[in-house]
Amino acid sequence: MDHTIRVAFVCVHNSCRSQIAEALGKKLAADAFESYSAGTETKPRINQDAVRLMKQLHGIDMEKTQRSKLLAELPPVDIVVTMGCNVSCPTLPCCHREDWGLEDPTGHPDEAFEATIQAIEQKVLDLRSRIRNRSVPGLF
């Protein structure tokens, strides 16, 4: 694969987990892939608890660089990561698909958001490592 690898983080509303993954992908894995996020529906704003905690924990202001987007707004992607939709997950054409099985922390205390952000951070770093080691099935 000779082009830049594009990863789409997808969940239904594109307002919390997928937005966190896009932001952390840009911060932690820009050397391995481009990060995008989208959903089958949008929300008027990114989840405000996620915005606040990402600023606090990672110094990232998601509202400055990101917004809730529909799948149709994505460029063609190589990898689709679903966040753990408990409804039917959106589908997109890609070479590799995986589900991260994360519960939506919306409506829960900060600890739930912090745990989700930490889990996404680890998964982004793992995906970065697998891409750099060329060990993603269907991609290489």
Instruction: Please check the confidence at residue 1 and state whether its pLDDT lies above 60.
Output: no
Topology annotation, domain 23-132: Rossmann fold (3.40.50)
Residue given tokens 């149709």 in the structure block:
72
35 has which bridge partners?
Answer: 7
Contacts of 17 (CB under 8 A, 6+ apart): 9, 11, 83, 84, 102, 104, 105, 116, 120
Domain ranges of the chain: 23-132
How buried is 55 (Cβ within 10 angstroms: 0-12 exposed, 13-18 middle, 19+ buried)?
Answer: middle
Instruction: Please check the confidence at residue 114 and state whether its pLDDT lies above 90.
Output: yes
For residues 109-136, give the mean pLDDT. Answer: 97
For residues 23-41, give the mean pLDDT. Answer: 96
Range with the lowest mean pLDDT among 86-95, 115-124, 127-136? 86-95
Instruction: Please check the confidence at residue 16 and state whether its pLDDT lies above 80.
Output: yes
The pLDDT, as a whole number, for residue 92 is 85
Can you tell me the distance from the alpha carbon of 41 to that of 68, in angstroms, rounded to the nearest whole number?
9
The pLDDT, as a whole number, for residue 3 is 78
Instruction: Please check the confidence at residue 87 and state whether its pLDDT lies above 80.
Output: no
For residues 54-59, give the mean pLDDT. Answer: 98
